[in-house]
Amino acid sequence: MRKKEKITEEQTPKTALVPDKKLDDSAFSESISGALKQKNEKGFFFAIIAVAAVVLLLVIGALADILTLCFQVNQVFGYCALAATAVLVGIFIVRPIVKVLGARFFVTDITADNFDLAVKKNYRALKDVASALVEYHENPNNARFRYLSEQTLSELKTALSNKDKQALKTALKQAYATDVAKCVNALIWKSSGKVFLTTSISQNDKIDALSVLLVNLSLVKQIVGIYGYRPNYAKLFRVYFIVMRSALLAYGMQNVNWFNVFGKFFSGVAKKIPFLDTVVDSAVQGTVSAFMTVLVGYKTKKYLCSDYKKQENLEIGAKEVAGKQVTDDEVQIAVELAKEIRNKNKDKLAE
């Protein structure tokens, strides 16, 4: 009887060591989400909407004096000006933001529960991006705007027709590293040149702020269009926050006398050169605004490349490439995630 009680006592701790499956899955999901710094996409979406609302308020404030003047001239003329302003705001401010928010994206917010689905969705997004690029370059109306080489375009078309996943990934990666990067870089510097000219020539703070805002919103939309996908909401929020900050900075630059700030450099020459103070102020304002535009462009490009790399890292983790040295923390996490999921599936099959 004592022997039987001993066996029972030995079996009890062994049973206690077996964790509850639901609890284990939940704990693993939470731990891996924390490791990947899981973001609240919904929260960042509403944060972007809030930034857009602030931008609209700034625009309305900038145009308030003009609209008031229009109403003073004639009430009908005032309402016509108000309607025209609403249309222009919708076209040049609301539309670029809406188009970017509605663009395709890669899933980078990964948990143990959605890992396999994320890999599948990302591959579907890759195919959609490639198809959109091919369709854009084959459209005769876009002939003078093409930025992919004939070889890259041919490789994308071949990979899509053959449904060759690896060839498609290779062709897209090559396109982003060469043709797309070259096109985006040129667009960024062209946009910064526009901002420099506008803010240098204009001596009005509201016009400066509006020009910086419009150019930067258009720049973000065009970069997303060239790449074929948008960053996740968290990164997109940071981009639009920089856009808003750039507009506010351009607005405040007019209140600073930059000639006095740099006066010690012109002490002996100031009296000999006419309008030197105006030239210095314009040059500084234009340079700062242009720099902020370059920052917006390269931040957007950086975040797009980061998301592309993350979805590629998930593939590396899923395939667990043998013999490859992994140093990136995010890649390592993705690999460990794939291993853990694979081991869990093997254990279930063994049971």
Model pLDDT for residues 292-315, shown as the tens digit of each residue = 999 999 999 999 998 898 888 776
Handedness of CA 40, 46, 47, 49 (dihedral sign): positive
Query: For position 341, what pLDDT does the model report?
Result: 60
- Which tokens go with 168? 């498609």
Mean pLDDT, the chain, as a whole number? 77
Query: For position 189, what pLDDT does the model report?
Result: 95
- Which tokens go with 267? 């002490």
* Cα–Cα dist 304/324, whole Å: 25
Query: For position 187, what pLDDT does the model report?
Result: 94
Query: For position 224, what pLDDT does the model report?
Result: 94
Query: For position 64, what pLDDT does the model report?
Result: 82
* Cα–Cα dist 20/42, whole Å: 31
- Which tokens go with 259? 């000639």
Low-confidence ranges of the chain (pLDDT < 70): 1-42, 110-114, 254-278, 280, 315-351
DSSP assignments along 152-218, one per residue:
HHHHHHHHHHHT-HHHHHHHHHHHIIIIIHHHHHHHHHHHHHHHHHHHHH---HHHHHHHHHHHHHH
